[in-house]
Amino acid sequence: MGKISFLPTLEDAYGSLSPDQLEILRQQVLSEGGELASIQSRFNYAWGLIKSTEQDDQRLGVKLLTDIYKESSMRRRECLYYLTIGCYKLGEFSTAKRYSDALCSHEPDNKQARTLQSMVENKIQRESFKGIAIASGCVAVAATVAGMLFRKKR
Amino acid sequence: MGSESNNKDQLSQIKRAVSTTASALFGSQSMEDTILSYSSPYKKLLHQTITNSGSSSALTKLRSTKNPFKSEENKAFQDIYSASNGKSFFANQFSNTKTSFRVLSYLSDDLLYDIPTITSRGNRDKKLLTENGDSTRRSKKSHPEEPSLFQGFRSSLPIIDETIKAQGPSVQDSQEAPRLLSGSEGGSETEKDERFSLPGDFSWDELNESYSVADLSQTVQSITDNLDLLEIQKNLAASEIREIDLKLQKLKMVRDLVFQRVAKVEQNELFLEKHLALLKDRIDMIEEYGLEDTQSSDTAEKTPQVPEKQHQNNNSASSETSTESEDATDDDSGDDTSALLSQSIYQKIKKSPPNSKPRGSKNALGQKKLPPNLHLNHNRKRKTYPTLQQYYEPGTKISSFTKAHDDSITCLDFDMPFGTMCTAGKLDHSVKIWNLSKKTQIGTLPGHLASVSCMQMDESSSLITGGRDALLKLWDLDKAEEQYFEGVPEEDEELCLHTFDAHVDEITALHFEGNSLVSGSQDRTIRQWDLRTGKCLQTIDINFTNRGTSDGFSTISSNNPRSSVLLTHNDPPVIGALQCYDAAMATGTKDGIVRLWDLRMGQVVRTLEGHTDAVTGLQFDAVNLVTGSLDRSIRIWDLRTGTLADAFAYDSPVSSLQFDLDKIVVANNESMVRVYNRKEEAHWTCGEADAEASGTDVVDFVRYKNGYLVEGRTTGDVNTWAI
């Protein structure tokens, strides 16, 4: 394997682990005492969960990440980054935006954080475009129907 | 399902129920769980958690039967332990998973923007993140000292894969699995020992013979990558250590705080105990003189019952001491009748050994000692005892009294840790009383005509001293304390409750237990006194010829002019130490022989020979007798067989010793106290070893109770230590 980058890219959050791997990560956390486990092993499990395809697993992963965030003030910057990715993957775009905004306000010069922020924003825009498109489509349909009805009446 | 019936069984069978449920469920489990069931290392924990994941219905039932009170909590919010995947974690009966996820993982704005920037590490992180922003693939040189969590994750993946591979078909024992798992650092430990292999499928021989630059550089590349990986793993471990250090620091702070709390509470307890005692005294006084306001006619009848009543009340109130001391006191109250005297003394010692249960026996003393002529009515029992000394690091100096006396300390005693201490100095004819927790003097006891050479305190504020003026005096410490603060000119007639005057030469050792006091004097007699009447019960002459000349002894003792007992000449005392319990007495004398006496007959029942010089310290409990001598040795005798159980020697003559079940503390004219841990059979020292000060600043006298050591020095200083 090549060198490991400092922070994951969004793509790193995809490509789920095998159940075996995930279970081992979980056992690692359990053997260290659940909530008392070291931050690294809890993160390992959380990230493994986020990589999973199951939405519920991803949620648990995000939940664990927030725990880490609350507990370790030193890791907060990092955690915000991971949280953003996690929420992005989950489709919680508003939360993702919250996190990425917070991150960027602390790391204005960080390109990776910026990239992530813009990705989130783009996604939100696209989503809203989609929404607008659907809504406007509906309106158009309704208008034509109404128009036709109106014409028929006339 | 078979487990259904098991559920109704008792708690003892629940374990079985869980496993049967688990095995039953495995059949219906998904692929994932089946694989895991083969890799048995996880055993019960895994079984439990897995069953939890798939079959919530059966498990909830099981859990609710296990603990009906907790079931609701369990349903409301799962914890990591029981949730094997996200679904069950967020599943509860109140809301859907999405909502509960949002609730559980919400970060408030405050928290979100509360990111440390000032701390050094924060700065570094910031810098690193910024650096990192430039390129996702950074050169190795800019590798952070502390890798990111993500790097940690990536670097632990290969280990996980290895683990899975290794676990495959073969069965590993459960112990190994978590260790292999411990991701970054732990997994390597076992592995490293076994084999270090080059990455990939290269073997060294192949590489040596290869002439293909491409191949070789590929290998170089992969080795470099591997090194990077290892470096990250190393850093991960390092940061984990830092994390642990931080936690330890925090825990230590918490411990300090709690320690303070204990200290404060104990101060409060001491305060209340004191007032309780005063109140009880007043009640006793009122009842004794019939001064009660109401029902004054009844008081006469009541009076005799009162002590017992109070005793019972106290017993029921103090749960910590109730049973044991009840036994002890019952025993002792039986002593009053002569019938018990026929019993074997040893049997009695066994029931309430003099040292291991000081509360019972000491209290018995207080109860029985109702001398009409001495007006000492100590009908008390403490509810609480200070325990703070246990929480000090062993060997910590708790407090020190500089220049307690102008000259060296000859003897001292204290009633309990953080309680009251009495000290006597060589040139000082009065005894000083100190408060050990406030570290202040609270009284003086003038009265002796010469310096005080031995003393003993009990828990009910009475003190007996023996001095070079051949007198033994019983003191009331409470009154002394009162007078000291009121500034009343001390009249020793009032403070001294009784003077035992019969010896014709200086007192060198005394001990009291229950109603009897024994004292040893330079006039070569031991006298036994009745504490109730103050009369001398018997006088025992010790006759032994000095083995060798006394000059022979003084070769050692003259080098140690600060021996614990004061003599005009530097000769060891005839009776160096004694202790009694009921009708049994042990004495250590100048000839180095330890004698066990039967006080009923006034005769020696056994002699323990071994010491080659004068015995200066002696103490026994139910099992052992420990003696220390000027011949520098400590001997531990077995009382049951009368043989030597253990012995060891120090570099200089022993002047004083005391012991409990755990430890023997010894003063041997060195600047530190020697401690011998009997359980671990380890020697250590308490206090700084100061070679230069030897001769001018050495420990003369030690007293030790419940892990609380008090030592008096030649300089007149007194220090207390936690052992």
Residue B565 · residue B410 · CB < 8 Å: yes
Q: Which residues of A touch B106 (CB under 8 A)?
A: 66
**A29 at interface of B, judged by CB pairs closer than 8 A:** yes
> Two tokens at B242?
């830092």
User: Which residue type sits at B46?
Assistant: L
Residue B51's φ and ψ, nearest 5 degrees, are -60, -35
Query: Given this model, what pLDDT does residue B519 score?
Result: 92
Is A7 within 8 Å of B150 when comparing Cβ atoms? yes
The parts of chain B modelled with pLDDT lower than 70 are: 1-97, 116-147, 167-202, 294-381, 488-493, 545-570, 689-695
Residue B152 · residue A40 · CB < 8 Å: yes
In this structure, which CATH number among 3.40.47.10, 2.130.10.10, 3.40.470.10, 3.40.50.1370 belongs to the domain B396-545+569-722? Answer: 2.130.10.10
Query: Given this model, what pLDDT does residue A3 score?
Result: 52
**B242 at interface of A, judged by CB pairs closer than 8 A:** no
**B393 at interface of A, judged by CB pairs closer than 8 A:** no
Q: What angle do CA B186, B190, B191 make, to 5 degrees?
A: 95
The parts of chain A modelled with pLDDT lower than 70 are: 1-5, 154
Most A-contacting residue of B150, B163, B223 (CB-CB within 10 A), to test interface? B150
What CA–CA distance (Å, rounded) separates B87 from B721?
Answer: 58
Query: Given this model, what pLDDT does residue B465 score?
Result: 92
**B124 at interface of A, judged by CB pairs closer than 8 A:** no
Is B153 within 8 Å of A61 when comparing Cβ atoms? no
**A100 at interface of B, judged by CB pairs closer than 8 A:** no
Q: Which residues of B touch A5 (CB under 8 A)?
A: 132, 136-138, 150-151
Q: Of the candidates B129, B157, B164, which has its C-beta nearest A77's C-beta?
A: B129
> What Å distances lie between residue A15 and A11, A47, A84, A96, B504, CA to CA?
8, 12, 17, 20, 99
Query: Given this model, what pLDDT does residue B198 score?
Result: 66
What CA–CA distance (Å, rounded) separates B243 from A38?
Answer: 8
Residue B446 · residue B429 · CB < 8 Å: yes
Chain B nearest C-alpha distance from A130 (Å): 23
Query: Given this model, what pLDDT does residue B308 score?
Result: 44
Q: Of the candidates A64, A78, A92, which has its C-beta nearest B148's C-beta?
A: A78
**A118 at interface of B, judged by CB pairs closer than 8 A:** no
Query: Given this model, what pLDDT does residue B197 score?
Result: 66
Q: How many CB pairs under 8 A join A and B?
A: 219
Is A34 within 8 Å of B79 when comparing Cβ atoms? yes
The per-residue pLDDT for range B682-716, each reduced to its tens digit, is 888 887 766 555 567 888 889 998 888 998 988 88
Domains assigned to chain A: 11-128 (1.25.40.10)
Most B-contacting residue of A11, A42, A47, A60 (CB-CB within 10 A), to test interface? A60
Residues facing residue B434 across a β-bridge:
B421, B441
pTM over 0.90: no
**B456 at interface of A, judged by CB pairs closer than 8 A:** no
User: Which residue type sits at B544?
Assistant: F
Is A28 within 8 Å of B182 when comparing Cβ atoms? yes
Is A110 within 8 Å of B132 when comparing Cβ atoms? yes
Q: Of the candidates B101, B119, B138, which has its C-beta nearest A6's C-beta?
A: B138
Query: Given this model, what pLDDT does residue B117 score?
Result: 58
Helix (H) or strand (E) run with residue B579 in it: strand B575-581
Residues facing residue B525 across a β-bridge:
B541
Q: Of the candidates B86, B117, B119, which has its C-beta nearest A57's C-beta?
A: B86
Is A24 within 8 Å of B125 when comparing Cβ atoms? no
The per-residue pLDDT for range B535-590, each reduced to its tens digit, is 888 998 887 765 544 443 433 443 444 444 444 445 778 888 999 988 889 999 88
Domain locations in chain B as residue ranges: 396-545+569-722
**B79 at interface of A, judged by CB pairs closer than 8 A:** yes
Is A24 within 8 Å of B236 when comparing Cβ atoms? no
Residue B568 · residue B557 · CB < 8 Å: no
Query: Given this model, what pLDDT does residue B351 score?
Result: 56
What CA–CA distance (Å, rounded) separates B703 from B563?
Answer: 15
**A59 at interface of B, judged by CB pairs closer than 8 A:** yes
**B133 at interface of A, judged by CB pairs closer than 8 A:** yes
> Two tokens at B462?
């009475």
Residue of A19, A12, A53, A102 lying closest to B36 (CA atoms): A19
**A33 at interface of B, judged by CB pairs closer than 8 A:** no
Query: Given this model, what pLDDT does residue B313 score?
Result: 44
Residues 219-238 of B with CB under 8 A from A: 225, 228-229, 232, 236
Query: Given this model, what pLDDT does residue B349 score?
Result: 57
Q: In chain A, whose CA is at the least distance from the CA of B226?
A: A1
Most B-contacting residue of A40, A82, A106, A115 (CB-CB within 10 A), to test interface? A40
Most B-contacting residue of A23, A54, A64 (CB-CB within 10 A), to test interface? A23
